[in-house]
A and B are shown apart, each in its own frame.
Chain A
């Protein structure tokens, strides 16, 4: 029995999506356990790879294997992935097979009935790479010590490698983090949860033109020795669509050490919140007759990929519209500023907003320079018991002129903007906001800011990176319709921010199953979406946000604390035990 463990993924040293985060964040824990017997296998992509990879001389054990592959035209690079733990990695070049994809597709068609006619480069590249990976395994398993190595294949992109390697003496785990069909159906507004067992997956796959990927996924699940996935949400979907029972669940964890401690959270929250409030003041003030109501306000946000339906943005915006109406009808003093941190197609920066920000920051700097004088004048006024201070008391005529000159540079159109950037006319968010009456008018209690670019500390708007920005918020809202795991709400909790997610989220399911949520101060609220109509969900979401707004301060603090505690359950130090248990069980069984 071999002692070697390999993880195969298209996203090893290749940041594409969530799998990269999973692999890179847990690698050090696996390496701690398996040391030099643990290897990752990914694609060699030239310059893109070289940013994350440190080339090394391969161990002698692999020297012959690599030379043999080289003589067949398959280049294999050995080295370290430049992440914590610096795990050993083989990156495999697949150029040789790119010109043969049609024959590889034919092989898959004949052996497994995989119909790859309607596919493009996003399919061809992983296919070619996977074939090269199977060459690697072929050479590997010629050596006795590598026979019956454990190989963990991630997603359909490496599923091809599993299928091409069927005849090699390896123990194969196939893991799907979501299903291709599930994601497509969810995005197309198909409520498949209630019809899961009655749907015809293959027919649907053809309907949505994803038959090739679906069939790769299905065959990989079928042919693997072990089929695993990340949550019970995905388990139900995978079993229904791929017709194979899931053997293990491997919930995702994350690296909590990358996030601030609760003490740091508290102090950073004040600072970041201040930065956000300042931005809001500058963003809206030009357009309002009276001041922008940043006092008594709450800062909420959502974030993620632009999948309107899957991420629940559609119901969220509608819930905000409802909330706006409720708060207005109650004549509430509370205001909500809602940030949508979702990268999107843009036409240009909103120069008007940018200009105004610069003007206000210029004004701030000017006032900072006058700070000492203003303090002195204020003190003078107070000493002389003049408690109603006039402008003349604080500013000289010249200073007032200068302030007015600065303020004259403010630009404004008729309406307050919805976004920091100019968006194409048919933008989905703008369309829904307009339909819901969320136009950022002065009288609106809910104001929405579309932030369609990646946050960073010099972006000219908030000038905060993502984690700092969410740290400055009160609540993250993620009412996903399709979320196999849900890193975004989890990271929100880790940042000490309360969150709302849905029962269609993998990790929320996990929390419920493990009964980790506290009744009184949960820190996280799980919105019921499964088998419910959108109208009901929208109502519930609006009511939930309203309830949160009405919380007392102490209640909010308790929930923030609890949010952080909840996140700690998902630290990889804990969650890696699932992986280790699986691997150890397999190793023992095959001794």
Chain B
């Protein structure tokens, strides 16, 4: 299907039909494929799925994306505009009468007990329905559906096969939706009877249409007062994802201090976890330190030193080597005792603190030597993070040699790197969906690919021009044409470029923006993709 981005003045052929619209606490994921993660959600401390499907009778031929809250469909016999611009409201307008059909759900996103759901409908008049959504006998939310034409409602639960989830090896392959509300109309509105609770945008725009394209989308993803790791299922405040994204886009942050105050004044509950009520994470504290500016670090150095000491007790053995608990790094499907990127982050933290106390300098020197040694012994895909955070570990000449070897072992010809050596027997070439087997044993992560391109550009842009171009092309294809249109995915299978994993991943977008902003004319990459 033909696809246009008004903000970018970009047109192309889409590989996907997935659309994401979000305004504050309300979002929609639309697709012909069925998933319990698609549909309409309202954020009530957790995403609450109230809309199972929204269908139109005519066939879309062309999509134009106006903004993160508006899309326009040109269909075989109509023109349809979908908007979340008005707060807590989904508006559908059509040039001609269109048969629009809605079905409903009443489910918190990760619940797989279908029996806790109850929906009650009340016909207020021939063109207005009031729906009440209950979960575990509690009223969660209410909506009004209004049409310019009569609404017909068929009550009952309807069984749906979840083809998208089934493809992802989900344990849940079927889900029941409630009711079928139809109207042949040229205007239909769904109003959420809630008051939005929202803290605002965190990124400044730049007047560069490419950068702003990504920044507006990142801003639109904000929930409460944090940047979620992604959608649909990483909506929580995953600390490493947020912290890395904020680090990557530090030049665009509106109010750095207020953002980091969440971490600063809540260190006790965050420093060693991957998210609220999460599991142990060895990178959270070092990432906080990475992001905190020197002024705040100096001011709160006593606090940070105390927590760093706790961190060392938790994550280092008596010889100072890492002894990581299970799943304590971003590669949380692997049992890793040590990890290059944790050493790097720790080293970064030590260096920052060394500016205030000599003892940290000695430690930093020790860990620099250790890191070098570890990389010489064996490295993995975290090498990318090592270079990105601490290019001074080796000389440029040494890095070139290392990355030449690295690319042989990890580079995928379509423009990405695998998370496992390609010729290893542990390498898994196909993404395994909900089964985490492939995640860090083969799958290619867009954020790492983007950082790699940045690194290669830094090392020798000319030498690696082709590789850099391939990576950018792959990431832009993912952003603009595949997965959720206009958003970057989490990862791809190793064997061929795809948009897989979480459909929207903020650190993929942040790293892509950083990559694109390193070029004087990033437009050229868009031109080559455009039709």
List CB contacts (< 8 Å) of A90-128 with chain B: 101-103, 105-106, 109-110, 116-118
Could you tell me if B113 and A102 are in contact, using CB atoms closer than 8 angstroms?
yes
Could you tell me if A117 and B113 are in contact, using CB atoms closer than 8 angstroms?
no
Q: Let me know if B357 is at the binding interface, CB within 8 A.
A: no
Task: Choose among A109, A110, A118 the residue that contacts B157 (Cβ–Cβ < 8 A).
Answer: A118
| A117 contact set on B, CB distance < 8 A | 114-115, 157, 176
Q: How far is the CB of B110 from chain A (nearest CB, A)?
A: 13
| A118 contact set on B, CB distance < 8 A | 156-157
Beyond A106-B113, A117-B115, A117-B157, list 7 extra A-B contacts (CB 8 Å).
A101-B115, A102-B113, A102-B116, A103-B113, A106-B114, A109-B113, A109-B114
Q: Let me know if A206 is at the binding interface, CB within 8 A.
A: yes
Q: Which residue of B lies closest to A107 (CB)?
A: B113
Contact-size category for A: 10 to 19
Q: Which residue of B lies closest to A99 (CB)?
A: B137
Chain B residues engaging chain A, CB cutoff 8 angstroms: 112-116, 136-137, 156-157, 159, 176
Q: How far is the CA of A116 from the CA of B115 in the complex (A)?
A: 7
Could you tell me if B157 and A105 are in contact, using CB atoms closer than 8 angstroms?
no
| B157 contact set on A, CB distance < 8 A | 117-118
List, sorted by A's number, 14 A–B pairs whose CB atoms are closer than 8 Å: A102-B113, A102-B115, A102-B116, A102-B136, A102-B137, A103-B115, A106-B112, A109-B113, A110-B112, A116-B115, A117-B114, A117-B115, A118-B156, A206-B159
Q: How far is the CA of A561 from the CA of B341 in the complex (A)?
A: 96
Top 7 A-B residue pairs of the complex, sorted by shortest distance between their CB atoms = A106-B113, A105-B115, A102-B115, A102-B116, A117-B176, A117-B157, A117-B114
Q: How far is the CA of A101 from the CA of B176 in the complex (A)?
A: 18
Could you tell me if A106 and B115 are in contact, using CB atoms closer than 8 angstroms?
yes
Contacts between chains A and B (CB distance < 8 A), count: 27
Q: How far is the CA of A118 from the CA of B114 in the complex (A)?
A: 11
Q: How far is the CA of A118 from the CA of B117 in the complex (A)?
A: 11
Q: How far is the CA of A155 from the CA of B115 in the complex (A)?
A: 23
Q: How far is the CA of A10 from the CA of B71 in the complex (A)?
A: 57
Q: Which residue of A lies closest to B114 (CB)?
A: A117
| B112 contact set on A, CB distance < 8 A | 106, 110
Q: How far is the CB of B168 from chain A (nearest CB, A)?
A: 19
Q: How far is the CA of A101 from the CA of B114 in the complex (A)?
A: 12
Q: How far is the CB of A116 from chain B (nearest CB, A)?
A: 6
Q: How far is the CA of A312 from the CA of B164 in the complex (A)?
A: 48
List CB contacts (< 8 Å) of A517-548 with chain B: none
Most chain A CB neighbours (cut-off 10 Å) among B114, B156, B157: B114
List CB contacts (< 8 Å) of A199-213 with chain B: 206
Q: How far is the CB of B116 from chain A (nearest CB, A)?
A: 5
Q: How far is the CB of A341 from chain B (nearest CB, A)?
A: 36
| A105 contact set on B, CB distance < 8 A | 113, 115
Q: Which residue of B lies closest to A101 (CB)?
A: B115
Q: How far is the CB of B30 from chain A (nearest CB, A)?
A: 25
| B115 contact set on A, CB distance < 8 A | 101-103, 105-106, 109, 116-117
Q: How far is the CA of A424 from the CA of B116 in the complex (A)?
A: 39
Q: How far is the CA of A102 from the CA of B114 in the complex (A)?
A: 8
| B176 contact set on A, CB distance < 8 A | 117
Q: How far is the CA of A106 from the CA of B115 in the complex (A)?
A: 7
Q: How far is the CA of A206 from the CA of B174 in the complex (A)?
A: 14
| B156 contact set on A, CB distance < 8 A | 118
| B116 contact set on A, CB distance < 8 A | 102, 106
Most chain A CB neighbours (cut-off 10 Å) among B112, B113, B116, B176: B113
Q: How far is the CB of B118 from chain A (nearest CB, A)?
A: 9
| B159 contact set on A, CB distance < 8 A | 206
Q: Which residue of B lies closest to A119 (CB)?
A: B115
Q: Which residue of A lies closest to B178 (CB)?
A: A117
Q: Which residue of A lies closest to B113 (CB)?
A: A106
Q: How far is the CB of A114 from chain B (nearest CB, A)?
A: 10
Indicate with 1 or 0, residue by residue over A63-107, a CB within 8 angstroms of chain B CB atoms: 000000000000000000000000000000000000001110110
| A102 contact set on B, CB distance < 8 A | 113, 115-116, 136-137
Q: How far is the CA of A547 from the CA of B115 in the complex (A)?
A: 57
Q: How far is the CA of A116 from the CA of B113 in the complex (A)?
A: 10
Q: How far is the CA of A109 from the CA of B113 in the complex (A)?
A: 8
| A116 contact set on B, CB distance < 8 A | 115
| A103 contact set on B, CB distance < 8 A | 113, 115
Q: How far is the CA of A106 from the CA of B114 in the complex (A)?
A: 7
Q: How far is the CB of B248 from chain A (nearest CB, A)?
A: 41
Q: Which residue of A lies closest to B116 (CB)?
A: A102
Q: How far is the CB of A537 from chain B (nearest CB, A)?
A: 36
Q: How far is the CB of B138 from chain A (nearest CB, A)?
A: 12
| A110 contact set on B, CB distance < 8 A | 112
Q: How far is the CA of A105 from the CA of B136 in the complex (A)?
A: 12
Q: How far is the CB of B251 from chain A (nearest CB, A)?
A: 49
Q: How far is the CB of B244 from chain A (nearest CB, A)?
A: 36
Q: How far is the CA of A316 from the CA of B334 in the complex (A)?
A: 73
Q: How far is the CA of A109 from the CA of B137 in the complex (A)?
A: 19
Most chain A CB neighbours (cut-off 10 Å) among B114, B115, B159, B176: B115
Q: How far is the CB of B353 from chain A (nearest CB, A)?
A: 49
| A206 contact set on B, CB distance < 8 A | 159
Q: Which residue of A lies closest to B175 (CB)?
A: A117
| B136 contact set on A, CB distance < 8 A | 102
Indicate with 1 or 0, residue by residue over A280-291, a CB within 8 angstroms of chain B CB atoms: 000000000000
Q: How far is the CB of A388 from chain B (nearest CB, A)?
A: 76
Q: How far is the CB of B464 from chain A (nearest CB, A)?
A: 51
Q: Which residue of B lies closest to A209 (CB)?
A: B156
Q: How far is the CA of A116 from the CA of B176 in the complex (A)?
A: 11
Q: How far is the CA of A116 from the CA of B136 in the complex (A)?
A: 15
Q: How far is the CA of A106 from the CA of B137 in the complex (A)?
A: 15
| A101 contact set on B, CB distance < 8 A | 115
Q: How far is the CB of A211 from chain B (nearest CB, A)?
A: 9
| B114 contact set on A, CB distance < 8 A | 106, 109, 117
Q: How far is the CB of A588 from chain B (nearest CB, A)?
A: 42
Q: How far is the CA of A378 from the CA of B219 in the complex (A)?
A: 113
Q: How far is the CA of A102 from the CA of B111 in the complex (A)?
A: 12
Q: Which residue of A lies closest to B156 (CB)?
A: A118
| B137 contact set on A, CB distance < 8 A | 102
Q: How far is the CA of A117 from the CA of B115 in the complex (A)?
A: 6
Q: Which residue of A lies closest to B171 (CB)?
A: A110
Most chain B CB neighbours (cut-off 10 Å) among A102, A110, A206: A102
Q: Which residue of B lies closest to A124 (CB)?
A: B115
Q: How far is the CB of A104 from chain B (nearest CB, A)?
A: 8
Q: Which residue of B lies closest to A105 (CB)?
A: B115
Q: How far is the CA of A103 from the CA of B114 in the complex (A)?
A: 10
Q: Which residue of B lies closest to A104 (CB)?
A: B115
Q: How far is the CA of A84 from the CA of B136 in the complex (A)?
A: 45
Q: How far is the CA of A117 from the CA of B114 in the complex (A)?
A: 7
Indicate with 1 or 0, residue by residue over A544-571, a CB within 8 angstroms of chain B CB atoms: 0000000000000000000000000000
Q: How far is the CA of A105 from the CA of B176 in the complex (A)?
A: 15
Q: How far is the CB of A103 from chain B (nearest CB, A)?
A: 7
Q: How far is the CA of A102 from the CA of B106 in the complex (A)?
A: 14
Q: How far is the CB of B122 from chain A (nearest CB, A)?
A: 20
Q: How far is the CA of A109 from the CA of B159 in the complex (A)?
A: 15
Q: How far is the CA of A117 from the CA of B176 in the complex (A)?
A: 8
Most chain B CB neighbours (cut-off 10 Å) among A116, A117, A118: A117
